[in-house]
Amino acid sequence: MTLKDNHGRLINYLRLAVTDRCNLRCFYCMPEEGIDWLARKEILTFEEMLRLCALLVKMGIDKIRITGGEPFVRTDIMKLLWSISKLPGLNQLTLTTNGVLTAPLVPELKRMGIQSVNLSMDTLDRNRFFAITRRDELPKVLHTLDALLSHGIDVKLNAVVMGEKNAQDILPLVELTKELPVSVRFIEEMPFNGGDVHTDSLHWNYQRIMALITEKFPAIKKIPDGPFSTSYNYQIPGHQGKVGVIAAYSRTFCGTCNRLRVTPQGMLKTCLYDNGVLNIKEIIRSEKADEKLLAALLHAINHRAKNGWEAEQLRKDAMPVHESMATIGG
């Protein structure tokens, strides 16, 4: 089955955030003291998540990304991953992780059929890693990178560019692509930091990031972007890996956006910038849930905002965003 939205865009990708909790405190995502963590009963159970995934796969979703918070802090997450990986009709199961707890699980992820993982790493410098994430965990993240590559799993390294906090890391991260077959993707910082306001970050938009990279690597070449790519992709001749820039704040990719997001508390977001357009949890905990959910999901997909600007405008509170990315999943 093919699922399309009211603007004719194919919808085939679900990003499911399985928890809002995290073992890091990245300053662009949440305050140092954390956020008001959701109570256990507020969060979809694994049974509910699996049921939702099964329904969405029947409706036409063929790729699911597990994210969070940090997916691996949720107890028994591997059980959920195994169950989702076996859904008939699902072509690709992937995940986004901060890599702190991931390394020992990599062999099992490989056995499960996971072919690609997004690993967040904003710097290669241990002190700056601590300054950004407020935890001294870079060695474990690097260990996860090694484990993924040695198991033949594709790695996309995500780095949020945050003004003066890590602009000096852009070029060393690009250098990494010389020897390693990784895609390093620089992400514009979005305002989902759980409350804090950082204004200088938006000076580092995708044009400025690319200008810096091109100045140092003038031979860098544009390579084709995939059909639903959110990144502009490049390669430096002779380098094994690739470089990408994600204009997450500038929102240049909405025209081909193929994704749905579900938050840990079961809100459906048809745009990263909307306020949640459907309370899945309420429906899935009611009578005749599958029937009602199918109708409600189709309705939401048929009333999707045209782009992130419209979605932001339509947010019920029409206030600046105070959410944390840990409740959205990235």
Tokens describing residue 183: 């895609």
Angle made by CA atoms 81, 147, 50, in degrees to the nearest 5: 5
Q: Is 290 helix (H, G, I), strand (E, B) or coil?
A: helix
246 lines the binding site for ligand SF4 (CB under 6 A): no
CA distance 137 to 133: 9
Residue selected from 137, 189, 274, 312 as contacting ligand SAM according to rule CB under 6 A: 189
29 lines the binding site for ligand SAM (CB under 6 A): yes
Q: Is 219 helix (H, G, I), strand (E, B) or coil?
A: coil
Strands (DSSP E) contained in 168-288 are: 183-188, 221-222, 231-235, 242-246, 259-262, 267-269, 278-279
Residue selected from 9, 15, 25, 140 as contacting ligand SF4 according to rule CB under 6 A: 25
Quick one: what does residue 189 bind among ligand SF4, ligand SAM, none, with the CB cut-off 5 to 8 Å set by partner type? ligand SAM
Angle made by CA atoms 86, 296, 287, in degrees to the nearest 5: 80
Residue selected from 145, 174, 300, 326 as contacting ligand SAM according to rule CB under 6 A: 326
The strands making up 116-120's β-sheet, listed across from edge to edge, are 221-222, 231-235, 242-246, 183-188, 154-161, 116-120, 92-97, 63-67, 13-17, 259-262, 267-269, 278-279
325 lines the binding site for ligand SAM (CB under 6 A): yes
123 lines the binding site for ligand SAM (CB under 6 A): no
160 lines the binding site for ligand SAM (CB under 6 A): yes
Per CB under 6 A, the segment of 185-193, 206-214, 227-235, 278-286 that binds ligand SAM is: 185-193
Interface mask toward ligand SF4 for 70-109; x: CB under 6 A: x---------------------------x-----------
Sites of contact with ligand SAM (CB under 6 A):
22, 28-29, 67-70, 96-98, 120, 158, 160, 187, 189-190, 192-193, 248, 325-326, 329-330
Sites of contact with ligand SF4 (CB under 6 A):
22, 24-26, 29-30, 68-70, 98, 120, 325-326
